Amino acid sequence: MKIPSLVYYLLTNRYFLSGLLIIICLIAFSVIGPYVYQRDPSDSSGPSEVPPGTNGYPLGTDYYGRDVLAQLIAAIRNSLYVGMITALTAIAIGLMLGLLAGLVGGKVDTLLTSITDMIMAIPHYLLALLIAAYSPVRTLEMVGFVIGITAWPWFARAVRAQAMSLKNREFVYFSRMAGTSTLRIAFEDILPGILTYVVVAGISFTITGIQSEAFLSMIGLGPSDVYTLGKILYWSLVMDTLRRGIWWWWGPPGFIIVILSTALYYINLGLEILSNPRVRGE
Protein backbone atom coordinates (compact mmCIF):
# COMPACT_ATOMS: atom_id res chain seq x y z
CA MET A 1 0.00 0.00 0.00
CA LYS A 2 1.34 3.42 -0.98
CA ILE A 3 1.90 6.08 1.68
CA PRO A 4 -0.94 8.46 0.57
CA SER A 5 -3.51 5.65 0.52
CA LEU A 6 -2.14 4.29 3.79
CA VAL A 7 -2.51 7.66 5.52
CA TYR A 8 -6.02 7.99 4.10
CA TYR A 9 -7.00 4.56 5.40
CA LEU A 10 -5.67 5.26 8.90
CA LEU A 11 -7.37 8.65 9.09
CA THR A 12 -10.66 7.11 7.99
CA ASN A 13 -10.34 4.03 10.20
CA ARG A 14 -12.71 4.59 13.12
CA TYR A 15 -10.64 2.50 15.53
CA PHE A 16 -7.32 4.23 14.82
CA LEU A 17 -8.84 7.71 14.68
CA SER A 18 -10.88 7.39 17.88
CA GLY A 19 -7.93 5.91 19.78
CA LEU A 20 -5.59 8.61 18.52
CA LEU A 21 -7.99 11.41 19.46
CA ILE A 22 -8.42 10.03 22.98
CA ILE A 23 -4.65 9.76 23.48
CA ILE A 24 -4.09 13.30 22.16
CA CYS A 25 -6.78 14.65 24.49
CA LEU A 26 -5.31 12.86 27.53
CA ILE A 27 -1.78 14.03 26.72
CA ALA A 28 -3.01 17.60 26.24
CA PHE A 29 -4.97 17.34 29.50
CA SER A 30 -1.87 16.24 31.42
CA VAL A 31 0.49 18.74 29.79
CA ILE A 32 -1.71 21.84 29.66
CA GLY A 33 -3.64 21.00 32.82
CA PRO A 34 -1.05 22.29 35.33
CA TYR A 35 -1.07 25.70 33.64
CA VAL A 36 -4.87 25.95 33.54
CA TYR A 37 -5.62 24.29 36.88
CA GLN A 38 -2.88 25.63 39.11
CA ARG A 39 -3.25 23.60 42.27
CA ASP A 40 -0.52 21.63 43.99
CA PRO A 41 -1.52 17.93 44.06
CA SER A 42 0.41 17.53 47.33
CA ASP A 43 -1.29 20.45 49.10
CA SER A 44 -3.24 18.98 52.03
CA SER A 45 -4.79 22.24 53.22
CA GLY A 46 -8.22 21.50 51.75
CA PRO A 47 -11.22 19.91 53.47
CA SER A 48 -11.14 16.15 53.86
CA GLU A 49 -13.07 13.89 51.44
CA VAL A 50 -15.45 16.46 50.00
CA PRO A 51 -17.43 15.17 46.97
CA PRO A 52 -16.94 16.55 43.44
CA GLY A 53 -18.10 20.10 42.87
CA THR A 54 -17.85 21.09 46.54
CA ASN A 55 -15.86 24.19 47.58
CA GLY A 56 -14.34 24.58 44.11
CA TYR A 57 -12.98 21.03 43.85
CA PRO A 58 -14.23 19.57 40.51
CA LEU A 59 -13.31 15.98 41.47
CA GLY A 60 -13.40 16.39 45.22
CA THR A 61 -10.58 15.75 47.70
CA ASP A 62 -9.01 12.75 49.37
CA TYR A 63 -8.74 11.95 53.09
CA TYR A 64 -5.78 14.32 53.46
CA GLY A 65 -7.54 17.22 51.75
CA ARG A 66 -5.57 16.94 48.51
CA ASP A 67 -7.22 17.87 45.23
CA VAL A 68 -8.08 14.71 43.24
CA LEU A 69 -8.14 16.53 39.89
CA ALA A 70 -4.66 17.97 40.45
CA GLN A 71 -3.42 14.49 41.36
CA LEU A 72 -5.04 13.03 38.25
CA ILE A 73 -3.37 15.57 35.95
CA ALA A 74 0.07 14.65 37.28
CA ALA A 75 -0.75 10.92 37.40
CA ILE A 76 -1.73 10.63 33.71
CA ARG A 77 1.56 12.18 32.63
CA ASN A 78 3.63 9.95 34.91
CA SER A 79 1.77 6.75 34.01
CA LEU A 80 2.22 7.42 30.29
CA TYR A 81 5.91 8.05 30.94
CA VAL A 82 6.24 4.67 32.68
CA GLY A 83 4.45 3.04 29.74
CA MET A 84 6.89 4.60 27.26
CA ILE A 85 9.92 3.53 29.33
CA THR A 86 8.50 0.00 29.40
CA ALA A 87 7.97 -0.02 25.64
CA LEU A 88 11.46 1.30 24.83
CA THR A 89 13.12 -1.21 27.18
CA ALA A 90 11.16 -4.24 25.98
CA ILE A 91 11.54 -3.29 22.30
CA ALA A 92 15.31 -2.78 22.65
CA ILE A 93 15.88 -6.14 24.38
CA GLY A 94 13.47 -8.14 22.24
CA LEU A 95 14.67 -6.62 18.98
CA MET A 96 18.34 -7.19 19.76
CA LEU A 97 17.95 -10.79 20.91
CA GLY A 98 15.38 -11.71 18.26
CA LEU A 99 17.43 -10.35 15.35
CA LEU A 100 20.62 -11.93 16.69
CA ALA A 101 19.02 -15.35 17.16
CA GLY A 102 17.25 -15.29 13.81
CA LEU A 103 20.19 -14.09 11.69
CA VAL A 104 23.15 -15.84 13.32
CA GLY A 105 21.44 -19.17 14.05
CA GLY A 106 23.30 -22.23 15.32
CA LYS A 107 24.45 -22.29 18.94
CA VAL A 108 23.72 -18.59 19.38
CA ASP A 109 20.10 -19.17 18.37
CA THR A 110 19.82 -22.19 20.68
CA LEU A 111 21.25 -20.26 23.65
CA LEU A 112 19.13 -17.14 23.16
CA THR A 113 15.98 -19.16 22.52
CA SER A 114 16.58 -21.17 25.69
CA ILE A 115 17.01 -17.98 27.74
CA THR A 116 13.86 -16.51 26.20
CA ASP A 117 11.83 -19.65 26.90
CA MET A 118 13.10 -19.78 30.48
CA ILE A 119 12.07 -16.19 31.20
CA MET A 120 8.81 -16.67 29.33
CA ALA A 121 7.92 -19.57 31.63
CA ILE A 122 7.77 -17.16 34.58
CA PRO A 123 4.71 -14.85 34.67
CA HIS A 124 6.07 -11.38 33.99
CA TYR A 125 3.91 -9.81 36.71
CA LEU A 126 5.50 -12.13 39.27
CA LEU A 127 9.00 -11.44 37.96
CA ALA A 128 8.44 -7.67 38.00
CA LEU A 129 7.03 -7.92 41.52
CA LEU A 130 10.11 -9.78 42.79
CA ILE A 131 12.55 -7.34 41.19
CA ALA A 132 10.62 -4.27 42.40
CA ALA A 133 10.38 -5.69 45.92
CA TYR A 134 14.17 -5.87 46.25
CA SER A 135 14.95 -2.66 44.37
CA PRO A 136 16.42 -0.01 46.73
CA VAL A 137 15.08 2.87 44.60
CA ARG A 138 11.72 2.95 42.82
CA THR A 139 11.62 5.93 40.49
CA LEU A 140 9.38 6.20 37.44
CA GLU A 141 12.31 5.18 35.24
CA MET A 142 13.21 2.22 37.43
CA VAL A 143 9.65 0.88 37.53
CA GLY A 144 9.29 1.24 33.76
CA PHE A 145 12.63 -0.49 33.24
CA VAL A 146 11.72 -3.36 35.61
CA ILE A 147 8.45 -3.96 33.77
CA GLY A 148 10.23 -3.76 30.40
CA ILE A 149 12.94 -6.31 31.24
CA THR A 150 10.27 -8.83 32.21
CA ALA A 151 7.86 -8.30 29.28
CA TRP A 152 10.06 -8.78 26.18
CA PRO A 153 10.21 -12.61 25.60
CA TRP A 154 7.13 -12.96 23.36
CA PHE A 155 8.35 -10.08 21.21
CA ALA A 156 11.84 -11.60 20.88
CA ARG A 157 10.30 -14.87 19.68
CA ALA A 158 8.20 -13.05 17.11
CA VAL A 159 11.18 -11.01 15.84
CA ARG A 160 13.27 -14.20 15.60
CA ALA A 161 10.59 -15.84 13.45
CA GLN A 162 10.36 -12.78 11.19
CA ALA A 163 14.15 -12.57 10.86
CA MET A 164 14.45 -16.26 9.97
CA SER A 165 11.80 -15.79 7.29
CA LEU A 166 13.36 -12.66 5.78
CA LYS A 167 16.99 -13.77 5.87
CA ASN A 168 16.34 -16.24 3.05
CA ARG A 169 15.05 -13.54 0.71
CA GLU A 170 17.08 -12.55 -2.33
CA PHE A 171 17.89 -9.02 -1.16
CA VAL A 172 19.49 -10.39 2.02
CA TYR A 173 21.39 -12.98 -0.03
CA PHE A 174 22.80 -10.22 -2.28
CA SER A 175 23.79 -8.19 0.78
CA ARG A 176 25.75 -11.14 2.12
CA MET A 177 27.44 -11.63 -1.26
CA ALA A 178 28.48 -7.97 -1.17
CA GLY A 179 30.20 -8.58 2.18
CA THR A 180 27.69 -6.64 4.30
CA SER A 181 28.05 -7.34 8.02
CA THR A 182 25.31 -9.10 9.97
CA LEU A 183 24.67 -5.93 11.97
CA ARG A 184 24.08 -3.85 8.85
CA ILE A 185 21.84 -6.55 7.38
CA ALA A 186 19.81 -6.57 10.58
CA PHE A 187 19.21 -2.81 10.58
CA GLU A 188 19.18 -2.06 6.84
CA ASP A 189 17.45 -5.14 5.39
CA ILE A 190 15.51 -6.92 8.12
CA LEU A 191 14.35 -4.10 10.42
CA PRO A 192 12.49 -2.10 7.72
CA GLY A 193 10.52 -5.24 6.88
CA ILE A 194 9.25 -5.65 10.44
CA LEU A 195 9.04 -1.99 11.44
CA THR A 196 5.24 -1.97 11.45
CA TYR A 197 5.19 -4.95 13.78
CA VAL A 198 7.69 -3.18 16.05
CA VAL A 199 5.39 -0.15 16.29
CA VAL A 200 2.37 -2.33 17.08
CA ALA A 201 4.38 -4.21 19.74
CA GLY A 202 5.54 -0.90 21.20
CA ILE A 203 1.94 0.20 21.73
CA SER A 204 1.15 -3.17 23.34
CA PHE A 205 4.11 -2.73 25.69
CA THR A 206 2.89 0.76 26.58
CA ILE A 207 -0.44 -0.74 27.66
CA THR A 208 1.46 -3.38 29.64
CA GLY A 209 3.55 -0.69 31.34
CA ILE A 210 0.54 1.38 32.40
CA GLN A 211 -1.37 -1.62 33.74
CA SER A 212 1.65 -3.21 35.42
CA GLU A 213 2.58 0.06 37.13
CA ALA A 214 -0.96 0.25 38.50
CA PHE A 215 -0.66 -3.33 39.75
CA LEU A 216 2.71 -2.72 41.42
CA SER A 217 1.56 0.56 42.95
CA MET A 218 -1.63 -0.96 44.35
CA ILE A 219 0.44 -3.46 46.35
CA GLY A 220 2.90 -0.80 47.51
CA LEU A 221 5.74 -1.45 45.05
CA GLY A 222 5.22 1.43 42.63
CA PRO A 223 7.19 4.66 42.18
CA SER A 224 7.90 6.60 45.37
CA ASP A 225 7.01 10.25 46.04
CA VAL A 226 5.21 10.82 42.72
CA TYR A 227 1.62 10.58 41.59
CA THR A 228 0.62 7.85 39.17
CA LEU A 229 -2.77 6.33 38.44
CA GLY A 230 -1.77 3.26 40.42
CA LYS A 231 -0.52 5.33 43.35
CA ILE A 232 -3.87 7.13 43.65
CA LEU A 233 -5.62 3.75 43.65
CA TYR A 234 -3.18 2.50 46.29
CA TRP A 235 -4.03 5.29 48.73
CA SER A 236 -7.73 4.88 48.06
CA LEU A 237 -7.42 1.18 48.94
CA VAL A 238 -5.45 1.97 52.09
CA MET A 239 -8.16 4.37 53.22
CA ASP A 240 -10.94 1.82 52.49
CA THR A 241 -12.77 4.17 50.13
CA LEU A 242 -14.68 1.41 48.34
CA ARG A 243 -16.50 0.34 51.49
CA ARG A 244 -17.04 3.92 52.67
CA GLY A 245 -18.45 5.05 49.32
CA ILE A 246 -15.73 7.62 48.50
CA TRP A 247 -16.02 6.80 44.81
CA TRP A 248 -14.43 10.01 43.51
CA TRP A 249 -11.06 8.94 44.92
CA TRP A 250 -10.74 5.61 43.09
CA GLY A 251 -13.24 6.11 40.24
CA PRO A 252 -11.39 8.69 38.06
CA PRO A 253 -7.97 6.94 38.02
CA GLY A 254 -9.62 3.56 37.38
CA PHE A 255 -11.65 5.07 34.54
CA ILE A 256 -8.55 6.70 33.01
CA ILE A 257 -6.63 3.39 33.07
CA VAL A 258 -9.50 1.74 31.18
CA ILE A 259 -9.73 4.63 28.69
CA LEU A 260 -5.96 4.69 28.10
CA SER A 261 -5.78 0.94 27.54
CA THR A 262 -8.80 0.98 25.23
CA ALA A 263 -7.49 3.92 23.18
CA LEU A 264 -4.10 2.28 22.68
CA TYR A 265 -5.80 -0.99 21.77
CA TYR A 266 -7.90 0.84 19.17
CA ILE A 267 -4.75 2.36 17.68
CA ASN A 268 -3.29 -1.15 17.44
CA LEU A 269 -6.40 -2.35 15.62
CA GLY A 270 -6.02 0.47 13.13
CA LEU A 271 -2.31 -0.20 12.62
CA GLU A 272 -3.01 -3.85 11.83
CA ILE A 273 -3.61 -2.64 8.28
CA LEU A 274 0.14 -2.16 7.91
CA SER A 275 1.01 -5.79 8.58
CA ASN A 276 -2.10 -7.72 7.63
CA PRO A 277 -3.36 -7.21 4.06
CA ARG A 278 -6.35 -9.49 4.75
CA VAL A 279 -7.83 -6.77 6.97
CA ARG A 280 -8.18 -4.45 3.98
CA GLY A 281 -9.52 -7.22 1.75
CA GLU A 282 -6.46 -7.62 -0.47
The three-state DSSP-derived secondary structure of the chain is CCHHHHHHHHHHCHHHHHHHHHHHHHHHHHHHHHHHCCCCCCCCCCCCCCCCCECCECCCECCCCCEHHHHHHHHHHHHHHHHHHHHHHHHHHHHHHHHHHHHHCHHHHHHHHHHHHHHHCCCHHHHHHHHHHCCCCCCHHHHHHHHHHHHCHHHHHHHHHHHHHHCCCHHHHHHHHCCCCHHHHHHHHHHHHHHHHHHHHHHHHHHHHHHHHHHHHHCCCCCCCCCCHHHHHHHHHHCCHHHHCCHHHHHHHHHHHHHHHHHHHHHHHHHHHHCCHHHHCC
pLDDT of residue 276: 62
| Of 75, 83, 79, 26, nearest in space to 205 by CA | 83
pLDDT of residue 4: 62
pLDDT of residue 204: 92
pLDDT of residue 6: 65
What parts of the chain have a pLDDT lower than 70? Answer: 1-6, 273-282
pLDDT of residue 144: 93
pLDDT of residue 137: 82
pLDDT of residue 277: 54
Hey, what domains does the chain have and what are their CATH numbers?
9-32+66-280 (1.10.3720.10)
| Of 237, 274, 266, nearest in space to 20 by CA | 266
